[in-house]
Amino acid sequence: MSHINYKGNHLSVEEVLVSDIADKVSTPFYCYSLQSIIDSYSKIKGVFKNFSPLICYSLKANSNLAIVKTLANLGSGADVGSEGELRKALKAGIPPNKIVFSGVGKSINEILYALESEIYQFNVESEAELNFINSIALEKNVKAPITLRVNPDVDANTHQKISTGKAKDKFGIAIQNIPALFEKSKNLNGVELFGLNVHIGSQIMDNNSFNQAFEKLFKLVELLINNGHSIKRIDLGGGIGIKNRNPNNLLDLSFLDYPDSKSLDHYGSLIEKHFSSIGCQIILEPGRAIVGTSGILISKVLYNKVNSDRVFKVIDAGMNDFARPALYDAQHSIIPVKKIDQIIKNKISIVGPVCESGDEFLTLKEFFDIPQDELIAVLSVGAYGACMSSNYNLRPLISEVLVNKNKFSLIRERQTYEDLLNRDIIPSWIGS
């Protein structure tokens, strides 16, 4: 059951009316359901009946401290891609021995900080990175725990900008090159190689892509074991997709109850089928699947602008606040906060105020006739929403709100214009 629903004619998050939040928090703002996050994490954890994987929440999906702390309290680990995310995970109370560090471009400072923090493993993306981590660890007289990230050359059937498992993508090591690196690692005294890592992309809705990647990975594991190598860990990354909208019924919010059990059970069965016989630790890195449907973006209609081609509903949230439609052509359901019966049967574009034609959230053949100053909600924005926002057009970063049953709290205050204006430095030689 979704925790974002209508109570009568008014949209609510858990037991709190969105309009009551908007009375105290200026639009636009992000709002998350705590219970939705807890339920999604529990669903993923509960899928695995015969073994208990280490679940490492991917902070890049949403790195708000309150959300990361919630997951830490549930026992989650963390998948991080920068020193900042590592510091956030540690601050939230996630133990270092539950943190994995991913990414193709780890800097020397990031590697040093991760070694000092004694994280669980580095997911190594290239031979050059393997040599670099080895040299740093030797200087520090420690052994860096690593897995090698495999590029299996599998199409995840997702948007090209979030595909990471094809040969042309920048991620991972070509699968045919992995055995040679296992042999090489025997002579690298600064690293300890525990196993393999794979991640083929994000927002994957077809489990067949996972199945193809897992089949290739299993054959590689068999080869490595037959060559005398020990495989103690297999990190299967993340990528489980969510539903962003229901194109058939604008007010049917049941799609927010996701990931659904049937799809997750199938995903879990694929992992058991391919890897349960190996007897090694399984690591998962879900992000969007945990927080995606928990979040909504609340905005206000500024103007209804009519031209010969369509009606533009201009809202006060922009592409700087939510970049996915402009960046990935993502389409997210948009609904009125207060139910409205009247429908405009015309081409409708919901657009933001930023000076870019790409600042468009959704175009529909018909939409609710939401009056000026009324509120709308953009759905399924708990992942890659606030964390990708920017100050483009010198617009302040907006507030984030967390709802828990019948109460809500700010978990990030809206940035002030003073913050924006005071961050720049004028050199003395420019003059007054």
Catalytic residues: 355
**Contact (CB, 8 A) for 400 and 29:** yes
**Per residue, what are the HEC states of 247-276?**
CCCCCCCHHHCCCCHHHHHHHHHHHHHHHC
**Cα-based distances in Å from 218 to 27, 93, 155, 188, 214:** 49, 34, 17, 25, 6
125: which 2 tokens? 């993306």
**Contact (CB, 8 A) for 151 and 175:** yes
**Cα-based distances in Å from 378 to 102, 157, 185, 201, 412:** 30, 25, 48, 24, 19
* Distance, CA of 11 to CA of 335 (rounded, Å): 9
Phi, psi of 177 (to 5 degrees): -95, -10
End-to-end CA distance of the chain: 60
Tokens 């073994």, residue located? 51
* Distance, CA of 13 to CA of 306 (rounded, Å): 32
Q: Does the CA dihedral 188-192-194-200 come out positive or negative?
A: negative
